[in-house]
A and B are shown apart, each in its own frame.
Chain A
Amino acid sequence: MNDLYIGVDIGSVSINIVGLDDSKDMQFKLYKRNPGSPVEVVKEGLASLNKKLKDRFKIAGVGVTGSGRQLIGYILGADIVKNEITAHATATIEQVPDVRTIFEIGGQDSKLIVINNEIVTDFAMNTVCAAGTGSFLDHQAERLGVEIEEFGDLALQATKDVRIAGRCTVFAESDMISKQQYGFTKPEIINGLCEALVRNYFNNLVRGKELHPRFVFQGGVAANAGIKAAIEKEINDEVIIPDNHDVMGAIGIALLAQEEMREKDEPSSFKGFSITHDNFETSSFICEDCANECEVIRIQANGKTIAMTGDRCGKWASDPRDIDVKDETSA
């Protein structure tokens, strides 16, 4: 039996799971967009991983990253739970050791990571403004009646430049409509949108920072050739799109799990595949013990409370328990 390291990335628009073997080769990959319940997606994902690999591999380590990392980490019994900046950078450095700049544009957030000598030295994140993320494109693609997958290639067919005011999705929309009325073609408009997104990204995150090659572009939006071209135009240099650019977070956290286990010299704390049969339920209640009135989220496995979060004081998270609450809302 060989060792397998599982990496799970719980993002807001996609959930990704990968399995890496000892020599860091990918044995399993799952990219799931717009997942409903993270817990269910993870359960299904792990079940299919198990089915595919159980004869050859045993689980040697599990890592969880992404904005929903705490709860899933708890449910899985993860060996390591880390933020997505560290995870993403780890994966990129593994593939492109001399990377200095990572542009990462995902469906709902975007990041800039600056690296020197294989170490993160600076980063910026945007989770507030949609105009610098993939959801900007999704939205406009829908308006134009173009499939998001075709979006990028269409942009490359543009023969003229048209500037779309894209500071904000709302402005972009009205500007786009008027440019259409002036008679610009669809590819030109789309190209203008790609450039607007990149401009937003640079305004929000780069903000005049000096960037050095090599440049890597990753995240869900990296598949879009129009955006790649717009970035290259902006920096006047070439960008590399790494293999598996859409699951870099999961790869990174799997690598970190591997490193962790090497140092720890203990078996993995993974709770095992039996969790794929457990019944998890998420609910929330308002704690009225103080004026903060936190919405406390709790996770139950087969009717028993196993984790709680969302409390500002930590009194629930540190001691999850079954309680009776009246104004409970099932989530």
Chain B
Amino acid sequence: MKIGIPRSLLFFYYYPFWEELFKELGIKVVVSDQNNERIMNKGVKYSISEICVPMKVYVGQVLDLVEQGVDLVYVPRIVSIQKDVTICPKFLGLPDMIKYSLEGMENRVLTHKIEQESDDISNWKDYQIFLEIFDISKKELKRALKKASEKWQEYRAMHRKGFTSDQLLEDVKRTPDTGDLTIGVLGYVYNVYDKFVNMDLLGKLREMNVNIVTFEMIDDEVIQREVDQFAPRKKMFWEFSNKLLGAGYHFLKSDEIDGVIHVTAFGCGPDSILGPFLDIDSDKYDTPFMTLRIDEQTGESHLLTRVEAFVDLLRLQKTKEARKCEK
């Protein structure tokens, strides 16, 4: 049996987990191609037009896997990875959207609910359908999940050492940070690492000699502290938006970060609330903040102009501050 995993959405957060899990169960995994024009066009064509861009990409990626001849596409229903906090509702309906809006998909989706209390999604209770589908014992399942969890923890540990997910998942060169500027690139993993939709933002920044910090590198406690401070009595957002909120405030306050770029997808509901909070507060912390809105037809020259101008601004500010200190 061949299982397909779309290279989209939480792929960039959980792939090492899923890869190890299926490997341990002896199941062959196929990952869809890197997002490209053809996949994107297909996604746009077969999704409802109002939905956010990442969901359209996901649809395209699923169709790509079907073309590659996989037996099942793995589309877990990720409900929550934190006690009492769900993730963006679009994820909750994702398996249904794939099953019933794409022709011939009804029986080609492997789905089950993931409703856990931590980011480590290895609690076996959510995976019971695997017992029957893959004809395995409970013991085998638990062992595979444990292995998957270990792999994923290693992956997360590498983040904390300062590696971005594209460096870990693809063969992006892992050079030490030598840039004279550090930018916090704030965004959901599927926006930050979809090179096609964001016109290779990370590559462009690296070319401009900029070091990149993302939310995955920040300790959970730091993120949680910022989130609690922001709204002590209330849970403001869905889970990944909370992570961005916490990391975002940490970036704004940190002396090591010269500026923040918020990468947000056209049509994203949560970001339309999250973005302005950070933008308005960025003045308070004297940290330049720029919103980069991406969609299926972002113009490259426009994006490059904005990124370049932002980097210019940060460099000029930095040299000026340095001059002030010399005096």
CB within 8 Å of B: which residues of A? 67, 70, 82-86, 117, 119-123, 125, 127, 210, 290-294, 312
CB contact between A291 and one of B39, B302, B305, B309 (< 8 Å): that residue: B39
Q: Which residue of B lies closest to A85 (CB)?
A: B309
| Complex Cα gap A121–B321 (Å) | 13
Q: Which residue of B lies closest to A109 (CB)?
A: B302
| Complex Cα gap A210–B279 (Å) | 12
In the complex, are the beta carbons of B316 and A293 less than 8 A apart?
Answer: no
In the complex, are the beta carbons of A122 and B36 less than 8 A apart?
Answer: no
In the complex, are the beta carbons of B309 and A83 less than 8 A apart?
Answer: yes
Residues of B within 8 A of A122 (CB): 288-289
In the complex, are the beta carbons of B313 and A119 less than 8 A apart?
Answer: yes
| Complex Cα gap A290–B200 (Å) | 16
Selected A-B contacts with CB under 8 Å, 14 pairs: A83-B308, A85-B312, A86-B312, A117-B320, A119-B313, A119-B316, A120-B312, A125-B306, A291-B36, A292-B36, A292-B38, A292-B196, A293-B37, A312-B199
Interface size class of B (residues with CB under 8 A): 20 to 34
In the complex, are the beta carbons of A290 and B305 less than 8 A apart?
Answer: no
Q: In chain B, residues 285-317, which have Cβ atoms closer than 8 Å to a Cβ of chain A?
A: 288-289, 299, 301-302, 304-306, 308-309, 312-313, 316-317
| Complex Cα gap A292–B123 (Å) | 40
A84 CB to nearest B CB, Å: 7
| Complex Cα gap A268–B283 (Å) | 40
In the complex, are the beta carbons of B309 and A119 less than 8 A apart?
Answer: no
Residues of A within 8 A of B299 (CB): 127
| Complex Cα gap A290–B308 (Å) | 28
In this assembly, does B220 line the interface, its C-beta being within 8 Å of a C-beta of chain A? no
Residues of A within 8 A of B281 (CB): none
In the complex, are the beta carbons of B37 and A85 less than 8 A apart?
Answer: no
Residues of A within 8 A of B316 (CB): 119-120
In this assembly, does B177 line the interface, its C-beta being within 8 Å of a C-beta of chain A? no
In the complex, are the beta carbons of A84 and B36 less than 8 A apart?
Answer: no
Residues of B within 8 A of A82 (CB): 308, 312
| Complex Cα gap A86–B36 (Å) | 32
Given contacts A119-B313, A119-B320, A293-B38, contact A83 B305 (CB under 8 A): yes
Q: Label chain B's interface by main secondary structure.
A: helix
| Complex Cα gap A45–B63 (Å) | 52
In this assembly, does B140 line the interface, its C-beta being within 8 Å of a C-beta of chain A? no
Residues of A within 8 A of B289 (CB): 122
| Complex Cα gap A292–B33 (Å) | 12
Residues of B within 8 A of A127 (CB): 299, 302
In the complex, are the beta carbons of B39 and A120 less than 8 A apart?
Answer: no
In the complex, are the beta carbons of A291 and B33 less than 8 A apart?
Answer: yes
Name the 8 nearest CB pairs between A and B, nearest first: A85-B309, A291-B36, A291-B38, A83-B305, A83-B308, A292-B37, A120-B313, A86-B312
In the complex, are the beta carbons of A67 and B305 less than 8 A apart?
Answer: yes
B260 CB to nearest A CB, Å: 12
| Complex Cα gap A144–B305 (Å) | 35
Q: Which residue of A lies closest to B293 (CB)?
A: A128
CB contact between B313 and one of A70, A121, A292 (< 8 Å): that residue: A121
CB contact between A121 and one of B33, B36, B308, B317 (< 8 Å): that residue: B317
Q: Which residue of A lies closest to B317 (CB)?
A: A119
Q: In chain B, residues 105-133, which have Cβ atoms closer than 8 Å to a Cβ of chain A?
A: none
Residues of B within 8 A of A86 (CB): 308-309, 312-313
B145 CB to nearest A CB, Å: 35
| Complex Cα gap A122–B313 (Å) | 8
Given A82-B308, A86-B312; 8 other pairs, CB 8 A cutoff: A67-B301, A85-B306, A119-B317, A121-B313, A127-B299, A292-B36, A292-B37, A292-B196
CB contact between A290 and one of B36, B283, B301 (< 8 Å): that residue: B36
Q: Which residue of B lies closest to A123 (CB)?
A: B309
Q: Which residue of B lies closest to A125 (CB)?
A: B306
In the complex, are the beta carbons of A83 and B33 less than 8 A apart?
Answer: no
Residues of A within 8 A of B196 (CB): 292, 312
| Complex Cα gap A22–B123 (Å) | 71
A6 CB to nearest B CB, Å: 21
Q: Which residue of B lies closest to A67 (CB)?
A: B301
A314 CB to nearest B CB, Å: 9
| Complex Cα gap A293–B312 (Å) | 32
| Complex Cα gap A67–B304 (Å) | 10
| Complex Cα gap A85–B306 (Å) | 8
B275 CB to nearest A CB, Å: 11
A30 CB to nearest B CB, Å: 23
Given contacts A119-B316, A120-B313, contact A291 B301 (CB under 8 A): no
Q: Could you mark each residue 187-225 of chain B with 1 if its beta carbon is under 8 Å from any beta carbon of chain A, else 0? A: 000000000100110000000000000000000000000
In the complex, are the beta carbons of B313 and A84 less than 8 A apart?
Answer: no
B64 CB to nearest A CB, Å: 9
Given contacts A84-B305, A121-B317, contact A291 B312 (CB under 8 A): no
Q: Which of B196, B199, B312, B317 has the most CB of A within 10 A?
A: B312
B73 CB to nearest A CB, Å: 19
In the complex, are the beta carbons of A125 and B37 less than 8 A apart?
Answer: no
Residues of A within 8 A of B199 (CB): 312
CB contact between A85 and one of B38, B301, B305, B320 (< 8 Å): that residue: B305
Residues of B within 8 A of A70 (CB): 301
B111 CB to nearest A CB, Å: 27
Residues of A within 8 A of B288 (CB): 121-122
B202 CB to nearest A CB, Å: 14
A208 CB to nearest B CB, Å: 8
Residues of A within 8 A of B302 (CB): 67, 125, 127
Q: Which residue of B lies closest to A113 (CB)?
A: B309
Q: Which residue of A lies closest to B307 (CB)?
A: A83
Residues of B within 8 A of A85 (CB): 305-306, 309, 312
